[in-house]
A and B are shown apart, each in its own frame.
Chain A
Amino acid sequence: MDTLITGHVWVVGDSVTTDAMYPAFAMKLPVPEAARHIFYELRPGWTDQVQAGDIVVAGRNFGLGSSRPVAALFLELGIAALIAEEFNSLFLRNCINHGLPALTVPGATKAFTDGDTARLDFAEGWAENTRSGTRLDGGALPPLVLDILANGGILPKLAREGYVPAPAAARGH
C-alpha cells in the first residue's frame, strides 16, 4: 500500500464537533447532498472551494461528539487525508473504518496555513509542509489499522470475507 499522500491543506481550529461537520438536518439527506454541509457554520461555502485530493488539518480534540459517519462525507468531497493535533478516538476510528487516512501530528495547526501543500506518510507517522520545509513527527498508525486502510475500509474487507455483498460494500462509501 502506498502510504504517502500529498495535497493542498485547509486548516480548522480546536474542538471541531461532529455536529459542525454532519449537522442533524443533513442526516435526512443522501451522502452526496449531506457532504455539502460539512463545516456549514464554521466555514460557509467551504465545500464549493475544496478539491479532490485536498487534506484537512485540525487542532486538538478533532471530532468531539457523535458517531455519525463524517468520514463518508469527507470521502464524498474527495478529501485524501486528515491531520489533527489530537483526534477524538471515536472519530478517528470512523475515519479508519471508512478507509480515510487520519494522522495525529502535534503542532500541525501552527505549521500549516490554508493553501500550503502537505506531504504525509501515515505508516511512518510524519507530515511535512513543502513550502516551509517544516517536518513534524506524529503517531504512526498500528499495523492492524494499516491493514484496514489497505483494504479500503471495513466494508470492502467484510465483502472480501463474505459477510456482505460486494456491490453493497462499495455503496457504503
Chain B
Amino acid sequence: MGMTMMEKILARKAGVEKVSAGDTVVCDVDMTVMIDLQFATSWVQPLKINDPDKVAVIMDHAVPAPNVHDAIGGTHARAFARDFHIEKFYDVGRHGICHQVIAENGLARPGEILACTDSHTCAGGAYNTAARGLGPAEVYSILCTGKTWFQAAPTIRYEFTGTKPDAVSGKDIFLYIGGTYGDATNHNLEYGGPGLASIPMNDRRTIATQGAEISADFSTFPIDDLARDFLAAHGAAPDSYTAADPDPDATYAAVRTVDLSSLEPYVARPGTVSHNSLPISAIEKRPVNQCFIGSCANGQLEDLKIAADIVRGRKVAPGVRLLITPASQEVYKDAMRAGYLQDLADAGAVVTNSTCGACFGYHMGLLAPGEVCLTSSTRNFTGRMGSPDAEIYMASPATVAASALAGHVTDPRGELS
C-alpha cells in the first residue's frame, strides 16, 4: 500500500522507505521557529545549537512588551539571536504572528518539517509542510539536536468538490468540517480534490491553521499552481523543493467529500467548534459587545480587505467594539497602503499593532463577565479571551464585520453582494 502526504514526508525525513500509521520515527527538522513566549518563561540559553540557518526567532504573542516579564523575555530573545547569529530574527518592527511571518518568508516549504512552540503551527500545512506545534521543551531539544520523533497517526482525507462560493471563506469551510465531523484527535488531516483550485491560499492557510481546534496532529495540502506561485512570490522557487503527493493507493482512516458549492457561512457557538458549529441561517441573532478580526487564522491581508469592503462608509453599531489586528507588520503596512485600515478606523474600529493580541487573551481586548464576543480568531474556548463568564462565538471575517455593523450575529451575504 502507498503512503499519505504526511507518511511520505516523515519517511523522507527519517531516511526510511516506508512509514505507516502507528510507526514511530526520528526525523530531521528543517526549520525550528521560536517565539517570544519561550524566552519569557524558564528560558536557559543553550551551550550549543544544531544549525543557526535552520532557526527563526519571531516576536508575536505579546509585543510590544506589555509587562516587565515579557520585556525580559525580549532581552533573552535578542541575546540568543545575537550570540548564535540567527539571521532570521523578526524583532519588533519586523514582527508579526509567527505563522504569518513564516508564510511571508517562505519558511514553511513543501515536503519539509517545521517545528514551532505554538499549537497553530499546523498553519504551514497549507504549503505542504509537515508543520507541528510542540511544547517549549521539545522545541528546545530540536534547536539543540536538529531532530525529534513522531508517531505517525492515521490520516483523514477531505476531498473537495464543486466551486467555493465567493461569500464562503476558509473559516466557513473549517467550521463546517468541525461542526459536522467533530474532533480528529490523534489523526492527521489531508486536503485535496478537484475543488481545491477554487480555494485561495489565504483560505487554505486558515483551514490548515484551525486543524489544532479539532485536536489533529498535522494538516496538509498538496502543491498546485496556486501554491507554487504563492511560494515563488515568497522566496521558495519551484525547483528548490520536492513536494509530497499522496500515493493513489494510500491508506486513510476515512475519506470525506465536501461539496464546496453547497456551503454557506458558519458560526461556532461558545466553547468548542467540534459538533458545535451551525450554518448562519440556524444561529440566533445574539447581540454582541465585541467583534474581533485578527489572529494567525484570519488576520491576513485578504481578511482585512473583506472587512474593509463591508464597513466602508458605514458605522459600527452603538455599544459594539470592533477590534482589528493585522497578522503581521507586513500585513499592517500593506493594509495601510491599500486604505483598508483607514476604512476600518473611519467605521469606528480600533486597529491595533500586529500581535496575537485578543486571541491570546493576555494583554489586550479581554472580555468582561457576561460579555459576548464574535471573533474570527482561532479559538472559542471558555475563558480564552478573558473572563470565563464571557461567551465567544467564532466566524469568518465577513460575518464578524457584518455583525459589528448590525450589533448582533448576522449573515454577511447581504453585505457582500
Known contacts A86-B185, A144-B26; is A93 also within 8 Å of B383 by CB? Answer: no
Cβ of A28 < 8 Å from any Cβ of B?
Answer: yes
Q: Which residues of A contact B (CB under 8 A)?
A: 15, 17-20, 23-25, 27-28, 31, 41, 60-61, 64-69, 71-72, 86-90, 93-94, 97-98, 142, 144, 153-155, 157-158, 161-165, 168-169, 171-172
Cβ contact within 8 Å between B24 and A144: yes
Cβ of B413 < 8 Å from any Cβ of A?
Answer: no
When distances are taken between beta carbons in the complex, the residues of chain B under 8 Å from A71 are 135
Cβ contact within 8 Å between A154 and B138: yes
Known A-B contacts: A24-B361, A67-B136, A169-B44. Give 12 more (CB < 8 A): A23-B361, A24-B384, A67-B133, A89-B151, A89-B215, A89-B217, A90-B212, A97-B135, A144-B24, A154-B141, A155-B140, A168-B44
When distances are taken between beta carbons in the complex, the residues of chain A under 8 Å from B44 are 164-165, 168-169, 171-172
Cβ contact within 8 Å between B186 and A89: yes
Cβ contact within 8 Å between B362 and A20: no
When distances are taken between beta carbons in the complex, the residues of chain A under 8 Å from B186 are 86-89
Cβ contact within 8 Å between A164 and B41: no
Q: In whole angstroms, what is the CA distance A164 to B26 when docked? A: 21
Cβ of B153 < 8 Å from any Cβ of A?
Answer: yes
Known contacts A24-B362, A172-B137; is A66 also within 8 Å of B119 by CB? Answer: yes
Contact among B69, B151, B381 for A142, CB-based, below 8 A: B151
When distances are taken between beta carbons in the complex, the residues of chain A under 8 Å from B118 are 66-67
Cβ contact within 8 Å between A162 and B272: no
- The main secondary structure of chain B at its interface with chain A is loop
Contact among B26, B141, B149 for A158, CB-based, below 8 A: B141
Cβ contact within 8 Å between A171 and B42: yes
Q: In whole angstroms, what is the CA distance A93 to B151 when docked? A: 11
Cβ contact within 8 Å between A164 and B46: yes
Cβ of B269 < 8 Å from any Cβ of A?
Answer: no
Cβ contact within 8 Å between B24 and A142: yes
Cβ contact within 8 Å between B185 and A69: no
Cβ contact within 8 Å between B137 and A97: yes
- Binary A-proximity of B20-62 (CB < 8 A = 1, otherwise 0): 0000101000000000010001101011110000000000000
When distances are taken between beta carbons in the complex, the residues of chain A under 8 Å from B212 are 65, 90
When distances are taken between beta carbons in the complex, the residues of chain A under 8 Å from B381 are 17, 19-20, 65
Q: In whole angstroms, what is the CA distance A69 to B274 when docked? A: 24
- Binary A-proximity of B130-157 (CB < 8 A = 1, otherwise 0): 0001111110110011000101010000
Known contacts A31-B42, A153-B137; is A163 also within 8 Å of B48 by CB? Answer: yes
Residue among A23, A27, A65, A168 with most chain B CB within 10 A: A27
Q: Which residues of B contact A (CB under 8 A)?
A: 24, 26, 37, 41-42, 44, 46-49, 67, 69-70, 117-119, 133-138, 140-141, 144-145, 149, 151, 153, 183, 185-186, 212, 215, 217, 272, 274, 360-362, 379, 381-384, 388
When distances are taken between beta carbons in the complex, the residues of chain A under 8 Å from B141 are 97, 154, 157-158
Known contacts A24-B361, A163-B144, A168-B44; is A97 also within 8 Å of B26 by CB? Answer: no
Known contacts A90-B119, A94-B137, A97-B141; is A20 also within 8 Å of B47 by CB? Answer: no
Cβ contact within 8 Å between A67 and B135: yes
Contact among B42, B136, B149 for A144, CB-based, below 8 A: B149
Contact among A27, A98, A163 for B41, CB-based, below 8 A: A27
When distances are taken between beta carbons in the complex, the residues of chain B under 8 Å from A154 are 137-138, 140-141
When distances are taken between beta carbons in the complex, the residues of chain B under 8 Å from A41 are 382-383, 388
A70, closest chain B residue (CB): B135
Cβ contact within 8 Å between A27 and B183: no
Known contacts A19-B382, A89-B153, A144-B24; is A98 also within 8 Å of B137 by CB? Answer: yes
Q: In whole angstroms, what is the CA distance A64 to B49 when docked? A: 30
When distances are taken between beta carbons in the complex, the residues of chain A under 8 Å from B26 are 144
Cβ contact within 8 Å between A163 and B382: no
A29, closest chain B residue (CB): B69
B150 to chain A, nearest CB (A): 9
6 CB < 8 A contacts A-B: A15-B183, A15-B274, A23-B361, A28-B69, A89-B151, A90-B119
When distances are taken between beta carbons in the complex, the residues of chain B under 8 Å from A89 are 151, 153, 185-186, 215, 217
Known contacts A20-B382, A65-B379, A88-B215; is A25 also within 8 Å of B362 by CB? Answer: yes
When distances are taken between beta carbons in the complex, the residues of chain B under 8 Å from A86 are 185-186
